[in-house]
Structure 1
Amino acid sequence: MVRQSTRPPGDGRLSRALGDPEFGRHFTDHMVLIDYCETGGWRDARVVPFGPLSLNPGSAVLHYGQGVFEGLKVYRHADGHLRAFRAHAHARRFASSAARLAMPELPESLFIESIRQLARADAGWVPHQRGASLYVRPFLIATEAFLGVRPSREATYGVIASPAGPYFADADNGIRLWLSRDYSRAGPGGTGEAKCGGNYAASLPALHQARANGCAQVLFTDASTRTWVEEAGNMNIFFVFADRTLVTPPLSGAILAGVTRDSVLCLARDMGYRAIERPISVEEWRAAAASGELREVFAVGTAAVITPVAGLVGEDLLIETPPPGSRSVASLMRAELSSLHHGDRHDRHEWMSDLGRADS
């Protein structure tokens, strides 16, 4: 991968970003770009200064929404190396999302190398403090200029990055979710399992309702019956029962296959919990909370990591969840993931990808 031009860290910008790494607000000095055309495949991989993209107004992404993205995190370890959490899993999901939108699939090796190149070019932007990371955002957009409904024959892959602290302020005490009765995130046969912008744009009116009702995020239920729990905004959701069972809704094609979701299922089983995927309804949530059988609810995602859910709010509905304690499953999972992220524990599942020394 060619570094066409580089520049030193942005001094004042860098110190401000690392001093207050508000999620997604500050961008590093460089980005990766790779072009694609149907006849020539992937070409011209390069690291360039971060800046605006030049797009033809007729580009397919602007008219037909052909675009996908990913989100993963890079951590600085005590040995001086930078490591990405589950980069290969993100690469596979990125390819799957691209296929769902009839876009070219980026080879896994090229995905990993693009992350490595950007992380090393902007190593100074990777935070040192515990709980902070470099959030990396790969994306793929259709760039062929035409006005006709068919897959684009041209695309651009890019990677940008941003120092990131906690996604939710004061999330230790839990967030409240708003039960959306008016909107659905995705339906059967739709794009719910793909990480594409349209899914998130369609969720924004519901998020507006949530915030108007004092909630941080939305709980989406199935589009057909409005009965079954699906996702908590941009996060997967877990329920912890008194018998040491963890339950999360199954992947139905309408739910994003979260990498953190998969990690929690794996770690829970390592810790001796019964971790299962099965449908769970809002009514079961209400009844189990009332009986005391339900001990915890928490949401998971790359950005939010592990976030306790304090309650579910809706029109004529309030379900309170017991406050998380220091020995809650959410706390244990967050501590376990943090230890892996920062290199304090043996990486028995080989989830951390070594990107090289920060100073090399």
Structure 2
Amino acid sequence: MAFALNLYPVTYIARYNPETTKWDEEWFQVDSVTYDELMAMGEDERKAVLDKRNQMGIPTVSYTSQYAYGCFEGMKGFPTKDGGVAIFRPEENGKRFNNSMKGLYCPAFPVEQFVAASVEFVKRNAALGYVPKYNADWEKTGYADADSIYMRPFMNSEGAIGVGCSRQPYVVICATTVSAYFKKGLDGAVITNRIRATPNGTGYIKCASNYVISAIAKHEAEVKGFVECVYLDAVEHKYFQEGSSCNVFFVLKDGTLVTPELGDTILPGITRKSVIALAKECGMNVEERKVSLAEVQKNAVEFFVTGTAAGISPMTSLTDLDGKKVDFKDGTQEGTVAYKLQRLLKGRQYGLLEDPNNWNTVVIPGKN
């Protein structure tokens, strides 16, 4: 099960009140159908239930719907080996969401309220059975196809039709269950000639409008048989930025792990931040700096991308705009850096390994 709009029954909605300068909260639930009941329904009946859940009562005509003026987060909750449920680093998502809203010049959602709402959101949906159960078979493949809760907090503006900045935004949290992110049967990454973000733009915030060009560029890559596209910088067209919706990492011949340095054109990924920390724990030399296409073609032995949805996904090759292809080690194989980091990351997220950094916020304590 990859991404699908199989929304959970309970949705969180908050709206900024300019008179009190606080966020008024409510819980939106159109049915109380349990997960088991939903799965027992016929296709048409199930679709009717899911369609109702997608009606959240927010304005159809808004700065968000008309101009892609909005921001969002991608975060995950995980069933843990001890029978519990945890959310991975929600405070980091809350900080980035808060920063994105500030970047859009609208009232920013408080981090503490973000975390509290996220925890309560998972609890309420878990009560209706909408949390995947831990499966020990996932361990055999390093959780490559394991189920998780994909949470989508997003901001939507008030009703509007002229170009402007929101003054009374909504914040919504919804979720669905997901597994593997990238499409099966495609392979390798390709450089796109499109530009994701320019200096002094919105590339550093998780802005909805940024993903229009990502959708187009990734589609073009998939049509050519590639699983992912990669952007170069807007100025010199030679330094890596990121993938369609993920950060990029390269392992050099001397074992150094490099990733493009953050700036106003690159999104500060939470998985990116976690991978850097894990690599340093393993004693690796990690460099955040400019990384050129020429350097990678000459000196890189591994290439992988990171993101909430992507996890740590190895790329077997990279093809440039001239058709030059460079092959890399298979990062799904034991002995590679990607393999090691993936098992450390997923092992901690799913509770197979200890969580020394306290990255997991426990929502439902384990019983095993």
Q: Report the TM-score, using the length of structure 1 for normalisation.
A: 0.87
- Please identify which structure carries the higher strand content: 1
Which residue in 2 is equivalent to 1:336?
Answer: 344
1:56–1:302 Cα change, 3 Å: closer
Say whether 1:178 aligns with 2:190.
Answer: yes
Say whether 1:136 aligns with 2:148.
Answer: no
1:248–1:53 Cα change, 3 Å: same
Whether the 8 Å CA contact 2:80–2:366 is kept in 1: the answer is no
Which residue in 2 is equivalent to 1:166?
Answer: 180
| 3-state SS of paired residue (2:334) | coil
| 3-state SS of paired residue (2:249) | strand
Per-residue CA deviations over 1:14-38 (Å, capped at 9, x if unaligned) read: xxxxxxx322342211110111132
CA distance in 2, matches of 1:358, 1:140: 32
1:196: how far off?
1.4
1:198–1:27 Cα change, 3 Å: same
Q: Which amino acid aligns with 2:311?
A: V
Which residue in 2 is equivalent to 1:258?
Answer: 269
1:55–1:137 Cα change, 3 Å: closer
Per-residue CA deviations over 1:106-160 (Å, capped at 9, x if unaligned) read: 11111011111111111122212332211111001111x3444432221111000
1:64–1:321 Cα change, 3 Å: same
Q: Which amino acid aligns with 1:299?
A: V
Q: Which amino acid aligns with 2:355?
A: D
1:57: how far off?
4.8
Q: Report the TM-score, using the length of structure 2 for normalisation.
A: 0.85
CA distance in 2, matches of 1:169, 1:152: 36
Per-residue CA deviations over 1:244-286 (Å, capped at 9, x if unaligned) read: 2100000021011000000010000000100110111111111
Whether the 8 Å CA contact 1:66–1:103 is kept in 2: the answer is no
Q: Which amino acid aligns with 1:327?
A: G
CA distance in 2, matches of 1:134, 1:254: 28
Which residue in 1 is equivalent to 2:302?
Answer: 296
Flag structure 2 segments of 5+ consecutive residues without an equivalent.
30-52, 139-145
* Candidates 340, 343, 355, aligned match of 2:363: 355
1:150–1:266 Cα change, 3 Å: same
CA distance in 2, matches of 1:308, 1:60: 37
Which residue in 2 is equivalent to 1:320?
Answer: 327
CA distance in 2, matches of 1:56, 1:76: 34
C-alpha RMSD of matched pairs (Å): 1.9
CA distance in 1, matches of 2:302, 2:199: 29
CA distance in 1, matches of 2:260, 2:341: 18
Flag structure 1 segments of 5+ consecutive residues without an equivalent.
1-20, 289-293
- Match runs of 1:102-113 below 5 Å: 102-113=105-116
Aligned residue pairs, count: 330
1:208: how far off?
2.4
Say whether 1:217 aligns with 2:224.
Answer: no
CA distance in 2, matches of 1:162, 1:341: 18
- Match runs of 1:53-72 below 5 Å: 53-72=56-75
Say whether 1:85 aligns with 2:88.
Answer: yes
1:78: how far off?
3.6
Q: Which amino acid aligns with 2:227?
A: A
Which residue in 1 is equivalent to 2:77?
Answer: 74
Whether the 8 Å CA contact 1:30–1:160 is kept in 2: the answer is yes
1:358: how far off?
8.3
| 3-state SS of paired residue (2:290) | coil
* Candidates 192, 196, 214, aligned match of 1:203: 214
Q: Which amino acid aligns with 1:86?
A: R
* Candidates 282, 289, 300, aligned match of 1:278: 289
| 3-state SS of paired residue (1:197) | coil
CA distance in 1, matches of 2:236, 2:94: 33
Per-residue CA deviations over 1:42-72 (Å, capped at 9, x if unaligned) read: 3431222133133445422223432110011
Deviates more, 1:54-63 or 1:95-104: 54-63
Whether the 8 Å CA contact 1:178–1:213 is kept in 2: the answer is no
Per-residue CA deviations over 1:202-228 (Å, capped at 9, x if unaligned) read: 222222221121111111000111110
Say whether 1:44 aligns with 2:24.
Answer: yes
1:81: how far off?
2.6
Which residue in 1 is equivalent to 2:354?
Answer: 346
